[in-house]
Structure 1
């Protein structure tokens, strides 16, 4: 469906509230281009974790679509995000995906740049050029509880409101004092929105994820979950884990702020964390004193949800490859002092969300095949798909305002 002349504004205006998106939102090249410009180049994207660049000169590349960003630790400890585009003739400056360096030297004509992006040397450049204006272009960057976010926007949304509300929620877990235990990418033959929609609801969990459903309560009706959450809150208080979270379901995207939300819910009895048998998986995070048998869903931006247990956390990234292909990346975090093989077993740590994501890949690809059909017609959401509805509303709002 290559409808470059498609009237996206009309498509948004005629979308039926409370129903799944119509077919062009998934199949149109024009809509996908709008998605890239409106979301992936404007929203904040989770690029990595501070544990990846502990020393001055440590760097890694963050790449999305046509863009490449150098994430580097400066000499003064500051985290910089620099466009990986030489200011001479546009070559990629940094080629290796990660490493340590004193400065970045373009492999084409050897222009050299300092860790903060400023121009260090440009061979044979005429003296009348202002070298202070020829540094690598800076990309907006925020370090939030050890997580590094970047935005390609010229005027990115402020983290101020998000920090004020989420700082108390995240502080006990000390994510800045975690490290990456494992990361995995799962290619999915589907439009990126189907990945996000699937993640945001557990209406499908009973049938599709028996491993998840036996430990997590999110597939049950609210009246069955409330007593379990009430019991958890007493445990949470003793464990030093806050549970007085705000509820953003149904609200519009905060003006001038990235989209964000959070919620903590109980696991079933017998499950201390998200493991196969309910037993602990790793040392407790941060200042957490004990297991409250709970899990926190936290969103920083629509595309970067995280799940936090008492002993480990997971970060999700939904990455577009093209209109018909996406990647779901999962990053597992454990306490910075935890040692693999001694403090945690990697296979046990990643088991639940690996098996769940493999199942999701199959579900989503079959969803895409159905959406491709001439017989596809959007159906109504049910109450358990509230977060998916919230995503759709935020998505349509963004397209309208872009």
Structure 2
């Protein structure tokens, strides 16, 4: 797509170590470029395997003007298609989720099987070739139960590198053997990049997230050492070393992997939880009595996994929380949060949904407000890019650098 000279200049002149210029958060033209350069060309995390536990189960996801249909086929494989009939383009599945035997167009009843093949199309004549009118497939990858799609004709090839690095970290939590205990969608009146920037730092956590910081060490995501906190930071570092040795002995990797500037950027690390914590709850104890996978021990810390451009996830011994960010416009963003527990856990017996979701419900609402404050500020004539903290906002800089790099690649800057 063509871009104006002003946008090209903004991309070329971006100052490293500083927040982005205001148009990156406000401009609908830049938003359209984001959708083309980022959300149509990269691996986007959109669902989890338990969203479609049985053959015929489906979910739909909207990425810009494209509706994506994710369905489990009869061979238990997860497939993805454009949610568009090959007859006259009607949307096939109009609910957020559901179950079908076959995929039937509501307009003229063209019928597709779960592999996307056109099986039935009445009144099309003897010369009509059904094989030429199958559903258009979308690239899909299943990373240890996290579902990614890519709309590009040729998706980034380095997904395999992320899979090789991350499967040893994620597979012990056995996400595929969980169920979605709760899902909450939050509409933030802010640009998607502000949502992601807010997630990539915990500079704001102590002042804004009292529920989250019950179980999270404040030193865990970057901190400037000082005489006042030196003792606490040293104690935290010792705890990390001791717990990492325990986890490695249990075949639970914990070491940081950071590849945030790769095309398919990602980062992971397992850190201990505070107060001898077991889980991200209001009392730092497990939210579900039924532990995941083959775990027999509750205090296994918190495994965090971030992906560029749109997701982050927290894996604990008893439950998993996944976050997927979907841009809606320059000033609106959908944040979809799912809480996963063991598929055999019983609500009211093994877990209580209110307790399970309390920390991140509160945190999401607090973050929504912060993103909206930032969106308002970006619209002020007084706004200018401000410096990132080298101690606590390094991951924000890496997100911004990754983002600008993708735009530069798109426009040939």
> TM-score, with normalisation over the residues of structure 2?
0.91
The 3-state SS of whatever aligns with 2:303 is strand
The 3-state SS of whatever aligns with 1:247 is strand
For the pair 1:164 / 2:164, whether they are aligned, the reply is yes
CA contact 1:119–1:134 (8 Å) conserved in 2: yes
CA contact 1:264–1:296 (8 Å) conserved in 2: yes
Structure 1 stretch displaced more, 275-284 or 178-187: 275-284
Structure 1 stretch displaced more, 342-351 or 107-116: 107-116
Matches of 1:332 and 1:285 in 2, distance apart?
A: 13
Give the match for residue 189 of structure 2. Answer: 189
CA contact 2:222–2:393 (8 Å) conserved in 1: no
- After superposition, the C-alpha distances for 1:244-285 in whole angstroms (9 at most, x for unaligned) are 34233xx6215xxx2121111122233221111122211221
Q: Cα 1:97–1:182, aligned 2, differ >3 Å: closer, same or farther?
A: same
Q: Which structure's relative contact order is higher, taking Cα pairs within 8 Å and 6+ residues apart?
A: 2
CA contact 1:285–1:335 (8 Å) conserved in 2: yes
Matches of 1:343 and 1:321 in 2, distance apart?
A: 37
CA shift, 1:76, in A, is 2.0
1:252 to 261, 270, 277: 261
Equivalent residues in 2 for 1:235-314 (5 A)?
Answer: 235-237=246-248, 239-248=250-259, 252-254=261-263, 258-282=264-288, 283-314=290-321
CA contact 1:240–1:288 (8 Å) conserved in 2: no
Matches of 2:178 and 2:49 in 1, distance apart?
A: 9
Q: Cα 1:370–1:164, aligned 2, differ >3 Å: closer, same or farther?
A: same
Give the match for residue 387 of structure 2. Answer: 380
Matches of 1:187 and 1:6 in 2, distance apart?
A: 32
For the pair 1:389 / 2:397, whether they are aligned, the reply is yes
Matches of 2:58 and 2:212 in 1, distance apart?
A: 36
For the pair 1:326 / 2:333, whether they are aligned, the reply is yes
CA contact 2:177–2:342 (8 Å) conserved in 1: yes
- After superposition, the C-alpha distances for 1:345-389 in whole angstroms (9 at most, x for unaligned) are 111111111111111111111111111100001111112101111
Give the match for residue 146 of structure 1. Answer: 145
Q: Cα 1:214–1:96, aligned 2, differ >3 Å: closer, same or farther?
A: closer
CA contact 2:214–2:284 (8 Å) conserved in 1: no
Q: Cα 1:293–1:143, aligned 2, differ >3 Å: closer, same or farther?
A: closer
Give the match for residue 216 of structure 2. Answer: 216
Matches of 2:124 and 2:224 in 1, distance apart?
A: 67
CA contact 1:57–1:103 (8 Å) conserved in 2: yes
Q: Cα 1:219–1:46, aligned 2, differ >3 Å: closer, same or farther?
A: closer
> TM-score, with normalisation over the residues of structure 1?
0.93
CA contact 2:59–2:70 (8 Å) conserved in 1: yes
Give the match for residue 81 of structure 1. Answer: 80
Matches of 2:382 and 2:224 in 1, distance apart?
A: 34
Q: Runs ≥4 in structure 1, deviation > 3 angstroms?
A: 3-7, 237-240
- After superposition, the C-alpha distances for 1:118-173 in whole angstroms (9 at most, x for unaligned) are 11121121333332111111111111212222111111123211111111111211
The 3-state SS of whatever aligns with 2:334 is strand
The 3-state SS of whatever aligns with 1:319 is strand
Query: How many equivalent residue pairs?
Result: 395
Give the match for residue 105 of structure 2. Answer: 106
Q: Cα 1:261–1:51, aligned 2, differ >3 Å: closer, same or farther?
A: same
For the pair 1:398 / 2:400, whether they are aligned, the reply is no
The 3-state SS of whatever aligns with 1:47 is strand
Equivalent residues in 2 for 1:337-356 (5 A)?
Answer: 337-356=344-363
Matches of 1:291 and 1:238 in 2, distance apart?
A: 16
CA shift, 1:286, in A, is 1.1
Matches of 2:84 and 2:59 in 1, distance apart?
A: 15
User: What stretches of structure 1 of length at least 5 have no aligned partner?
Assistant: none
Q: Cα 1:222–1:339, aligned 2, differ >3 Å: closer, same or farther?
A: farther
For the pair 1:19 / 2:18, whether they are aligned, the reply is yes
